[in-house]
A = this chain, B = another copy of it.
Amino acid sequence: MKKVYLAGPDVFLPDPLEAGRRKAAICAQYGLSGLYPLDNTIDLASQTASLDIFRGNEAMMDAADAIIANLTPFRGPGADAGTVYELGYMAGRGKLCLGYSNDPSSYAERARRFTAVRAEAGRQVDSEGLTVEDFGLSDNLMMIHALELHGCPLVTPRERPDDIWHDLAAFEACVRLAAELLLTN
């Protein structure tokens, strides 16, 4: 059975195990096996807990045929860094890359919620004077175009769902695409 690595800040939810179970169940409906970081058994009291988590996640990614990354903005204007790292890793490994964000707004729109953005010398800059990337994309261009060139374009809902952390419609759309691409080749 083809394996899909389920990357995302879902592991930081109050109900992280249930979130993984729901995602894996959707994968199974489409004939895919979902690999979720918390499937690895880690002793969180161990001195090496964080390294053990890393090694477990990397082994899962190496075993997977594809990644579905939850790029919903996390604790700031953009996606969760751990998830972004994993998307990059899978692109580098030549695996099929898919991703979704439950927030359909653009990065530049969201940046304005976190920092004062002003025009300066033809650029939009934040309160530190750093350029706010504005190509009208959902997030940093590296992730957005990585998805296009290493898999499928980012999936976003037409409207922001009421519960951006538990709504799985965009996720399911990714699973459907992954199944089409992985199971017909």
The answer to whether A74 and B146 touch across the interface, beta carbons within 8 angstroms, is no
The interface stretch among A78-86, A154-162, A173-181 is: A78-86
Query: Is A50 interfacial (CB 8 A cutoff)?
Result: yes
CA–CA, A135 to B49, complex, Å? 8
Closest to A134 in B: B50
Looking at the assembled complex, report how far the CB atom of A121 sits from the nearest CB atom of chain B, in whole angstroms: 8
Mask: chain A, 102-131; 1 = CB below 8 Å from B; 0 = not:
000000000100110000110001101111
Interface of A is mostly: helix
Size of the chain A interface, CB-CB below 8 angstroms? 59
The answer to whether B12 and A85 touch across the interface, beta carbons within 8 angstroms, is no
CA–CA, A57 to B142, complex, Å? 9
Query: Is A9 interfacial (CB 8 A cutoff)?
Result: yes
Closest to A44 in B: B135
CA–CA, A166 to B139, complex, Å? 25
Q: A75-B114, A75-B115, A146-B85 are in contact. Are A54 and B92 (CB under 8 A)?
A: no
The answer to whether B145 and A111 touch across the interface, beta carbons within 8 angstroms, is no
CA–CA, A133 to B165, complex, Å? 17
Query: Is A13 interfacial (CB 8 A cutoff)?
Result: yes
The answer to whether A130 and B12 touch across the interface, beta carbons within 8 angstroms, is yes
Q: Could you write out 19 A-B pairs with CB less than 8 Å apart? A: A9-B130, A12-B133, A13-B129, A13-B130, A13-B131, A14-B125, A49-B135, A51-B145, A54-B145, A58-B149, A74-B130, A75-B114, A76-B78, A81-B81, A84-B84, A85-B85, A85-B146, A89-B89, A92-B92
